[in-house]
């Protein structure tokens, strides 16, 4: 008996124990994020070049089918044939849309004769294919022709906990070309993340072409040099710049949409405006001169809240943003806006008096609410960081809580929707190891994988308040990150933990169980050529 126990223990340590079918089947199917229900079935389904993807209902699911077919073509040498039929076929992946399921819900049944996929919408079908992808060996990602394309017998029923599952990428501090942004979107798709928050403007660079205001990219997209390290006073002497043309933006938005990801643009206001002010100095309280910032921090130079010219400019910018991005949300930042210039500005003080505002905090609230009314009139919603609570907030604005969860909790208690992205759990520019000497340079802080996984976005709220939490997001600020390889290292595998926080029900989550599945997922990262942190192996 002792020998048998020791053998089982050894196999368990090697990750080779085959969990019994039935109740334990969840543990043998290594899917991230963890599905709602998994049950093992007899037999397995073998994918071959002759396998057909048969769409029996829901023409809108065809794009998701094509993406999966193209993935398999790397190993099979040819994409799978996609048909539209009226009934299920043997030796096929049969796909249908079933509106009785939730929009993002799906069921997946793999048996020897066929694979059956039902999605509540085309989006649900796409997520089913992402799960099916993880049931295949990692070699399919790199097109390994020797990879066994055998899918174990399994029934999966799945649906996300939250509608909003986001990742942010800051391209203002360091510019990333179109192909890098597409790679980032691919990483999100693998993890069933459905919001890409694109931070496009800041003090150190304006990255979005606005045709009405060409100086934003002619001047604002380029800084003369970049500070070395953490504001050491030394500079690299190398100009840094770049921006996305409107055609490139359309390309990226379409690329994301094909992967059922909504791109949320961020145009910072009223603070973090140096690049815009360098382009159009009259928009500031002093009139300049200004230059695109070459170091990091929070600057006193902000958009003038007293000038009508400021609002005319921002409305002109937002008109073009709205035309480019179909997202219901437009992110306006709203964070870290010093009030010094407003206190000294005659126009801003006149605005405070005319609008019967108490102080500069209420002036910021006026600024944000005015922009929100403009967005609402265009059929869009405003989302901003938790500073938009200061001075009063409208009932329709959505709060992104970054200074811990306090702002999100306050918003929900006021009746506002919120997204949790607390720097305590979800700032991926923070170190993920205390051994910082052996880590890539980072801004500071400490958010290891386990800390990300500990986030419960509704903790501290009652049942009704919890309904106002739309989901969770992680942010990657790039002051000290300039390559896609470094981006990948900072977000992987922490993105997997964030994905499970946002997808899987709280009562189904276990860090030890997640860690086992995340280790398996890293084989896929390797096959895809992603650079990832390896602390989870310790």
Of 344, 471, 277, give the one whose Cα is nearest residue 352.
Answer: 344
CB 45 within 8 A of CB 151: yes
Q: Which residues are catalytic?
A: 202, 272, 336
List C-alpha distances in Å: 204 to 9, 113, 476, 497.
55, 57, 16, 30
How big is the CA angle at 289 (ends 288 and 291), to the nearest 5 degrees? 115
3-state secondary structure of 56: strand
Burial of 408-428, coded b for 16+ CB within 10 Å and e otherwise, reads bbbbbeeebbbbbbbbbbbbb
Task: Determine which helix (DSSP H) or strand (DSSP E) holds 263, and give its type and residue range.
Answer: strand 262-269
CB 380 within 8 A of CB 386: no
8-state DSSP, 387: G
List C-alpha distances in Å: 462 to 215, 382, 404, 465, 467.
49, 25, 18, 5, 9
List C-alpha distances in Å: 87 to 54, 84, 128.
8, 9, 19
What do you get for the CA distance between the two ends of the chain, in Å? 31
Q: How many residues in the chain?
A: 538
Rounded CA gap, 105 and 94, in Å?
Answer: 16
CB 389 within 8 A of CB 411: yes
List C-alpha distances in Å: 4 to 143, 370, 498.
40, 72, 39
Rounded CA gap, 314 and 213, in Å?
Answer: 10
Rounded CA gap, 236 and 70, in Å?
Answer: 43
List C-alpha distances in Å: 238 to 202, 234, 287, 484, 487.
19, 12, 27, 19, 21
Of 488, 474, 471, give the one whose Cα is nearest residue 427.
Answer: 474
CB 381 within 8 A of CB 398: yes
């Amino acid at each position: 008996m002792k020998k048998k126990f020791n053998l089982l223990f050894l196999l368990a340590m090697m990750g080779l124990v085959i969990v019994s079918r039935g109740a334990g089947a969840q543990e043998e199917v290594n899917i991230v994020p963890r599905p709602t229900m998994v049950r093992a079935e007899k037999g397995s389904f073998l994918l071959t070049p002759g396998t057909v993807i048969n769409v029996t209902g829901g023409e809108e699911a065809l794009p998701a089918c094509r993406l999966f077919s193209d993935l398999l073509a790397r190993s099979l040498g040819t994409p799978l044939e996609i048909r539209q039929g009226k009934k299920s076929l043997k030796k096929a992946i049969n796909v249908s849309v079933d509106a009785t399921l939730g929009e993002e819900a799906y069921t997946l049944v793999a048996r020897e004769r066929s694979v059956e996929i039902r999605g509540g919408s085309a989006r649900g079908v796409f997520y089913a294919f992402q799960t099916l992808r993880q049931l295949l060996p990692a070699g399919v990602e790199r097109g390994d022709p020797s990879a066994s394309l055998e899918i174990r017998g399994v029934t999966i029923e799945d649906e996300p906990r939250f509608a909003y599952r986001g990742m942010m990428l800051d391209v203002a501090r360091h510019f990333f070309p179109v192909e890098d942004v597409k790679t980032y979107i691919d990483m999100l798709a693998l993890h069933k993340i459905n919001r890409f928050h694109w931070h496009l403007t800041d003090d150190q660079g304006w990255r979005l072409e606005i045709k009405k205001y060409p100086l934003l990219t002619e001047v604002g997209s380029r800084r003369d040099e970049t500070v070395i390290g953490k504001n050491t006073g030394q500079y690299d002497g190398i100009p840094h710049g770049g921006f996305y043309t409107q055609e490139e933006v359309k390309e990226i938005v379409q690329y994301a949409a094909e992967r059922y990801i909504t791109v949320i643009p961020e145009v910072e206001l009223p603070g973090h405006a140096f690049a815009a002010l360098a382009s159009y100095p009259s928009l500031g309280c002093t009139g300049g001169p200004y230059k695109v910032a070459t170091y990091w921090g929070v600057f006193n130079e902000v958009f003038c809240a007293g000038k009508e010219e400021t609002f005319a400019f921002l409305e002109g910018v937002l008109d073009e943003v709205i035309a480019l991005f179909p997202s219901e949300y437009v992110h306006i930042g709203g964070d870290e806006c010093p009030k010094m210039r407003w206190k000294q500005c005659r126009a801003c003080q006149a605005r405070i008096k005319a609008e019967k505002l108490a102080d500069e905090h209420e002036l910021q609230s006026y600024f944000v609410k005015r922009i929100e009314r403009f967005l609402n009139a265009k059929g869009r919603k405003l989302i901003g960081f938790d500073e938009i609570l200061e001075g009063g907030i409208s009932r329709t604005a959505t709060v992104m809580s970054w200074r811990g969860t306090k702002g999100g909790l306050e918003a929900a208690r006021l009746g506002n929707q919120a997204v949790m992205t607390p720097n305590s759990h979800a700032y991926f520019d923070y170190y993920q190891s205390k051994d910082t000497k052996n880590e890539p340079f980072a801004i500071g802080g400490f958010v290891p994988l386990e800390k990300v996984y500990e986030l419960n976005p509704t903790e501290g709220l009652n049942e009704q308040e919890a309904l106002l939490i739309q989901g969770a997001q992680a942010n990657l600020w790039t002051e000290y990150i300039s390559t896609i390889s470094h981006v990948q290292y900072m977000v992987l595998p922490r993105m997997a933990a964030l994905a499970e926080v946002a997808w899987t029900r709280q009562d189904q989550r276990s860090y030890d169980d997640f860690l086992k599945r995340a280790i398996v997922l890293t084989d896929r990262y390797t096959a895809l050529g992603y650079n990832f942190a390896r602390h989870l192996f310790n």
